[in-house]
Amino acid sequence: MQSYELLADSFLFGHGNFIVGLQRKRKNNTIFMTVGLSKYSFFETVEYNFDKAAAFTGFDAGILEQIKACNSVYQMKFPVRMGQNLDRVEVFEAYRVQHSHHKTPCKGGIRFSMDVNQDEVMALASLMTYKCAIVNVPFGGGKGGIKVDPKKYTPLELERITRRYAAELVKKNFIGPGIDVPAPDYGSGEREMGWIADTYLAMKPGDVDGLGCVTGKPIAQGGVRGRREATGLGVFYGTRELCNQADLMQKLGLTSGIEGKTVVVQGLGNVGYHSAKFFREGGAKVIAIAEYEGAIMNPEGLDEEAVFQHRKSTGSILNFPGATNLEKSSEALELACDILIPAALENVITETNAPNIKAKIIAEAANGPVTVEADEILNSKGIVVIPDIYLNAGGVTVSYFEWLKNLSHVRYGRMEKRFTENMNSQIVQQIENMTGRSMETGHRSMIVHGPDEVDLIYSGLEETMISSLHDLLNTMRENPGIDSMRTAAFVLAIKKVGVAYKELGIFP
Ligand code: GLU
């Protein structure tokens, strides 16, 4: 019985091929089957990183305790009718955690996965607080999760589950443009966000800002152009800026810039796909891509779209033309490369595989991919880890832009596009008159072009990722005792949240 339970648990909580050991623990009403991952649960990992950084903030224990604590945890169970004839009922377990109310609304995605449990959602909600603080997005952190395997249900069934979850949030006042604003996360996307918006609006008729109750929506339902690729694009902008720091690159024995860097991407979901796309377009070579079923490698570089289409038609990433198969997905993490991008789930780099990692830079596109133990090993090997709470903040940054669009009720660029184009045309015209030469058509249209929504979104995201990277690097320079970018990121985040609490007048 005992071994059966262990086996069952390992299926629930393990991550396919990424499993590497065996351990069991109980935390936050959840029995964990973390397989050799870490002696810390995910939430404890966040707390560990917080405590390590707290020493550099100068705040006293009371305020630190408040910043660290999850303010509201809502665990729910609800029934949903299933099957074509709706003659069967299934009960689902779900969560919404609001980690911090220092700024409202709270913000963070909703995960659809069988791995969802209270500890995980609390950890992810906490990371959202720090993430928002680092990139100056004025929200508290939140996260939601439904314990469900989306692959097992029809779209109609998933719609019923999602709408019921949204209704539960409305009933408990856990959603709203000024309260808590969910978004996509692992296992959810635009379609689910559309259902949530529609459910909210049906229950709150007349709420003129109602569309701002959720982000990551389809464009036709108040979404913003650029949100889908935002996390991957943010990963690219952030890593590119780090690679542009000549002194840092020299220490790593690398040349400056993205051009020619070799990259391994773990996970070909939304974040992994778009990370691979932007790195390839930026001149890097994506030499390996890993998924559950295995990994593929090609030193000449892989085209993520071709790989995606191959997986879609064959059901597997393996046997991609021109590439070598790696049977175990986890092997890809240990390949020699310049940049390793874990873009799937937490706890994939552990004390077991960290000693074998050959990448010079680890770009954390996923939330929590490196365990506490692994972090120390990577640090001692001189590997630079660009931490999740900075690097994958592009998603929530563009969610913030979407929320602003919903509250302002106007598409980005609508007011200034034509004005800018007319001004630019005048300038080009004047230059042509003065020089007596006419500008080449391609150059003319590039210069004249007024900003579309997507141009402004990309520009806002690029500015955010670049300036926040420099905030992190400055934090490291100002505190020589800080030994990693992760600690610097936590220091920066804690300071910002602490200052916000002080401004609220709650703390002396
Ligand atoms: N789920 C994403 C994250 O972990 C996005 C959250 C959001 O856009 O609110 O950052």
Residue 38 lies in a domain: no
- Of 191, 220, 249, the last residue of a domain is 220
**Contact (CB, 8 A) for 213 and 186:** no
Is 274 close to ligand 1, i.e. is its CB under 6 Å away? no
Mean pLDDT of the chain: 93
Residue 15 lies in a domain: no
- Over residues 97-112, the mean pLDDT reads 98
Q: Is the pLDDT score of 507 beyond 90? A: no
Residue 485 lies in a domain: no
* Residue reference for tokens 């800080």: 482
pLDDT tens-digit map of 296-345: 999 999 999 999 999 999 999 999 999 999 989 999 999 999 999 999 99
CA 371 – ligand 1 centroid, Å: 20
Same structural domain for residues 186 and 301?
A: no
Same structural domain for residues 188 and 308?
A: no
Give the residue with greater pLDDT, 355 vs 36.
355
Residue 461 lies in a domain: no
Is 109 close to ligand 1, i.e. is its CB under 6 Å away? yes
Which two tokens mark 418? 């034509």
Which residue owns the Cα nearest ligand 1 atom 9? 108
CA distances 419 to 383, 405, 414, 447, Å, are 48, 20, 10, 14
Same structural domain for residues 289 and 249?
A: yes
Helices 453-478, 230-243: crossing angle, 10 deg rounding: 40
Using the atom order of ligand 1, give the atom closest to the CA of residue 396: 8
Same structural domain for residues 252 and 348?
A: yes
Is 47 close to ligand 1, i.e. is its CB under 6 Å away? no
Q: Is the pLDDT score of 10 beyond 70? A: no
Is 215 close to ligand 1, i.e. is its CB under 6 Å away? yes
Q: Give the total residue count for the chain.
A: 508
- Compute φ and ψ for 230, nearest 5 degrees: -60, -45
**pLDDT for res 504:** 86
What residue type is assigned to position 468 of the chain?
S
**pLDDT for res 505:** 84
Residue 239 lies in a domain: yes
Which two tokens mark 380? 């001692």
- Compute φ and ψ for 353, nearest 5 degrees: -100, -15
Residue 89 lies in a domain: yes
Same structural domain for residues 171 and 268?
A: no
CA 108 – ligand 1 centroid, Å: 5
- Beta bridge partners of residue 143, listed in sequence order: 97
Q: Is the pLDDT score of 508 beyond 90? A: no
Pairing of strands 339-342, 262-266: parallel
User: What would the DSSP string read from start to end of 184-243?
Assistant: E-TT--HHHHHHHHHHHHHHSTT-TTGGGG-SS--GGGT--TTSTTHHHHHHHHHHHHHH
CA 398 – ligand 1 centroid, Å: 9
Using the atom order of ligand 1, give the atom closest to the CA of residue 107: 9
CA 432 – ligand 1 centroid, Å: 47
Is 129 close to ligand 1, i.e. is its CB under 6 Å away? no
**pLDDT for res 36:** 53
Is 399 close to ligand 1, i.e. is its CB under 6 Å away? yes
CA distances 64 to 130, 139, 386, 389, Å, are 13, 18, 24, 18
- Over residues 67-95, the mean pLDDT reads 97
User: Which domain range does residue 215 map to?
Assistant: 72-220
Q: Is the pLDDT score of 193 beyond 50? A: yes
CATH number of the domain at 272, please.
Answer: 3.40.50.720
**pLDDT for res 400:** 98
| Burial category of 221 from C-beta neighbours within 10 Å (exposed 0-12, middle 13-18, buried 19 and up) | middle
For residue 89, give the 3-state DSSP assignment. Answer: strand
pLDDT tens-digit map of 488-498: 999 999 999 99
Q: In which band, very low, low, confident or very high, does the pLDDT at 506 lie, cut at 50, 70 and 90?
A: confident
Same structural domain for residues 239 and 380?
A: yes
CA 396 – ligand 1 centroid, Å: 5
Same structural domain for residues 137 and 265?
A: no
Same structural domain for residues 270 and 199?
A: no
- Annotated active-site residue 277? The verdict is no
Same structural domain for residues 140 and 241?
A: no
pLDDT tens-digit map of 357-397: 999 999 999 999 999 999 999 999 999 999 999 999 999 99
Same structural domain for residues 308 and 385?
A: yes
- Specify the number of domains making up the chain: 3
pLDDT tens-digit map of 231-258: 999 999 999 999 999 999 999 999 999 9
Residue 170 lies in a domain: yes
- Of 184, 201, 220, the last residue of a domain is 220
CATH number of the domain at 197, please.
Answer: 3.40.50.10860
Same structural domain for residues 332 and 248?
A: yes
Is 106 close to ligand 1, i.e. is its CB under 6 Å away? no
- Over residues 57-67, the mean pLDDT reads 96
Give the residue with greater pLDDT, 427 vs 30.
427
Same structural domain for residues 209 and 279?
A: no
- Of 376, 391, 406, the last residue of a domain is 391
- From the candidates 131, 143, 217, 277, give the one annotated as an active-site residue: 143
Using the atom order of ligand 1, give the atom closest to the CA of residue 142: 9
Residue 167 lies in a domain: yes
